[in-house]
Amino acid sequence: AQGWNEGWGTIVRMSANAPAFNEGSGSVPRDVAIGQAVAGPCLDFYAAAPVRRQGATHLEFVFPKGLSVVTPDPIAIFRNAPHREVAEAFVDFVLSEAGQRLWYQKRGTPGGPVKFDLERLPVLKELYARDLPTHTVARPFAEGQAFAYDEAKGGLRWAFLEELFRATILEVHEELKASWRAVLKAGRSEELGRSLGLPPFDEAVVQKLAERKRGSAEQNELRRRWTGWARERYAAVRQAALNGGPAPEYRPAPTE
């Protein structure tokens, strides 16, 4: 949604503000609810129960407009399902209005679930236009709410970006946080924050690196060099903040 340059900078600054990285997004709403973090990214239905318990005046889940990815949960039937007619009937029910209202509405309301709040968004667009008793005010079909995800580009880059994130952010998280603290203390978040968040390479290089096949030894060496690049970069920005110097000269990360 933000493009490669701005998007990477956002990820870097979010990571610099993060006290730690959890294994999954399920723990994020808990940490926010108990005050361990001010905010955090997670799936909408992971946040639903804590928001309901705390109350909307204390805790809130938001879909950033134009920056949210909305993906439906899949449902399928095994190719050789022994009871195919029953399976098809179940899928039809899940996708029907009656089935979707079970996902969407509050527990104990007419047409809603009986025992548990499921708190999932329906795939039927028309349900959002009706005044149904729900816990959410989200409108994923609203114009400008979500952005178009490039599945082909995302699929190609997925493993590569995971490696890049691990090497340049996760492995040097303490150095990144220290650099960001120095930047904030110096009151130079605009200038040095931008320098801190510069991507390792431009988008054309990302595409080529994502397409290239590498052996495990070559990949490990490249990841080690990326980590070294990030460590040097964050240290240089930190020194600029501490010494009052200019933003450090930018040099891209190694590509081989």
pLDDT of 71 reads 83
Supply the pLDDT for residue 180: 97
**What are the b/e assignments for 3-34, b being 16+ CB within 10 Å?**
eeeeebbebbbebbebeeeeeeeeebbbbbbe
Alpha-carbon distance of 44 to 90, in angstroms, equals: 25
CA distances from 235 to 36, 182, 238, 254 (A): 27, 10, 5, 17
The pTM score is 0.81
CA dist., res. 89 & res. 91, Å (int): 6
Radius of gyration over every alpha carbon of the chain, rounded to an integer in angstroms: 23
Contact 118, 135 (CB under 8 A): no
> Quick check: 223 and 248 in contact, CB under 8 A?
no
The tens-digit pLDDT sequence of the chain (256 residues) is: 788 999 999 999 999 999 888 877 778 888 888 888 888 888 888 888 888 888 878 888 888 888 888 888 899 999 999 999 999 999 999 999 999 999 999 999 999 999 998 889 999 999 998 889 988 778 888 877 777 788 888 888 999 999 999 999 999 999 999 999 999 999 999 999 999 999 999 999 999 998 888 888 888 999 999 999 999 999 999 999 999 999 999 999 999 8
pLDDT at residue 197, rounded to an integer: 95
Residue ranges covered by each domain of the chain: 71-139, 151-243
